[in-house]
Structure 1
């Protein structure tokens, strides 16, 4: 790992000058500052706040980096984190990166994504928080965490392959298996699926769970039984039309509640009643699900529990650094049975 001394030698300046630049002091020329910052970026140097003695005492604060606060999952997770922190006399500082708001659903392909995350981590390190929780907007492998991180970090709602970092997710595949089993136990053997977008971890895991349940009950799944939607009601409507017209399906499993709402629109357009003529199951238990007519049977993601587990892991790592063992935790989902699944 590059040291402060090596940076100073590369730039032909004193260690004090490099330190002043890192700490934002203004007694350095702009030319020298630019030269030093360029070398810092090229070498990947990151200040070791622990080694420099800047983290000699706890601040009882944790930084929370959020992909986007407008994502339906974010507020529930953050509420769980905050409730756990309240119980343990910790405070949280939030950094909302607003990725969906700025760049839409393809933000993780934007070149500014990783830089924004690293900048947020740097800022939290500079104000000496005791740890960081990264709240992802959707499940994926997080690969932008600096390898020489000097502060405890937990990933919430996603995971990483980077050693030494804990993560908390929900068991997507098992929940999909459970709700498919619920449909089967209500007599449904011909089940259509409106999945999410291709090459999406949620889609892949939910398909795995669906197929597992079908196989366990000796039911076959054909490629034509599955259509990929775009996680919105319009694609739910269009895929319901493609799947159900002239078919003998008795149920539709939608990989989120918004697409299920689109299925409802299609069924009512055809004078069919959800739960009576065609059963419909959703996923997420969004607010809309209980207001659909009839109310939607769906999977409930335990967002509050995910937040609380994330908070528990970060405080354990902060308070017991010598005994810390990184964990990849999975929280189990539940089935909310309402009126959209009928028995046949």
Structure 2
């Protein structure tokens, strides 16, 4: 158990205010004997000053709280680390709190508030439709998020997800593909809906249909991509290209295509989404749409700090995405 300033004051037989001032270097507030008694009490009890409380009193620094849902996800970890770096570059700190389906959102937010954070940065896309998270974040503290928050009203800093679908479709169409399928994430997620909107519109503009049999839903995992690909080819074995909604699923897609005896990319091209660190090391190296996770983390932290400082920030700020062409796509 931590020794509090109140404990020191009680041991020394002085008021809380006197103990606080002496331990913060204000020697003139007490007689030499009282000052010595306070310092001896602090030493005997093993008192350690609360750096966070000192910062608040002196207004020496700002601390942002980062609420994230899956640190095992490389995209989330890249975002969080970038946000920490951005805060540190301005002399500020960041406290991290985990929240997901098994952790009460209200409790996670309350923990950050107990540490007296000055604002909260949210990276919890799996909880975008969770009412408890939206309710917990309502209050006077500035909040910025990379995903939609239930109830709205929170500035959104993210990527142009509709453009990811557009770039993938235009790339495959430009190579001459006409029978294109897609392995998507959970349909209820806004990121999936936006990527599908861009993908559909690009295909429609080129006069290419996207029948339902060429759309297969999966979770965001390697196994999800693997099983979805087998279902996709069972429903339409004529497909010559697949757009996959993230790079982790794309690994499973590549494995399933190999198992089907297809040559990659001669028989089937694959486009992923994210450009995670392993994408260039797959066989074949994965063509993918790069999502700027680190830039988003830096931008989100910077805007949150600006908002804490009283500046106006945009309600919506979408960073551009980029197609990275490697070896997994070619003409059919």
Which TM-score band applies after superposition, normalised by the shorter structure? 0.7 to 0.9
- The question of whether the paired residues in 1 share the 8 Å contact of 2:247 and 2:273 is answered with yes
CA distance in 2, matches of 1:285, 1:310: 20
Shift of 1:55: 7.1
Q: Which residue among 84, 87, 91 is the counterpart of 1:85? A: 87
Q: Which residue among 161, 173, 189 is the counterpart of 2:178? A: 189
**What residue number does 1:340 align with?**
328
Greater alpha carbon shift after TM alignment, 253-262 vs 291-300: 253-262
Q: How does 1:16-165 map to 2 (within 5 A)?
A: 57=59, 59-95=61-97, 97=98, 99=100, 107=101, 112-125=103-116, 129-138=117-126, 140-141=128-129, 143-149=134-140, 151-159=141-149, 161-163=151-153, 165=154
Q: Greater CA radius of gyration, 1 or 2?
A: 2
CA distance in 2, matches of 1:72, 1:144: 28
The TM-score, its normalising length taken from structure 2, stands at 0.75
Shift of 1:160: 5.3
The TM-score, its normalising length taken from structure 1, stands at 0.72
Match of 1:219, SS?
coil
CA distance in 2, matches of 1:159, 1:147: 10
**What residue number does 1:10 align with?**
none
- The question of whether the paired residues in 2 share the 8 Å contact of 1:227 and 1:239 is answered with yes
Structure 1 residues 32-77: Cα deviation after superposition (integer angstroms, max 9, x where no partner):
xxxxxxxxxxxxxxxxxxxxxx778353322222223222222211
CA distance in 2, matches of 1:270, 1:259: 17
> Which structure 2 residue ranges, 5 or more long, are not aligned?
8-55
**What residue number does 1:233 align with?**
222
Q: Cα RMSD between the aligned structures? A: 2.6
CA distance in 2, matches of 1:272, 1:161: 46
Shift of 1:116: 2.1
Shift of 1:314: 1.2
Shift of 1:325: 4.5
Aligned residues: 277
**What residue number does 2:273 align with?**
283
CA distance in 1, matches of 2:328, 2:136: 42
> Which structure 1 residue ranges, 5 or more long, are not aligned?
1-22, 27-53, 100-106
Q: How does 1:297-336 map to 2 (within 5 A)?
A: 297-319=287-309, 321=310, 323-336=311-324
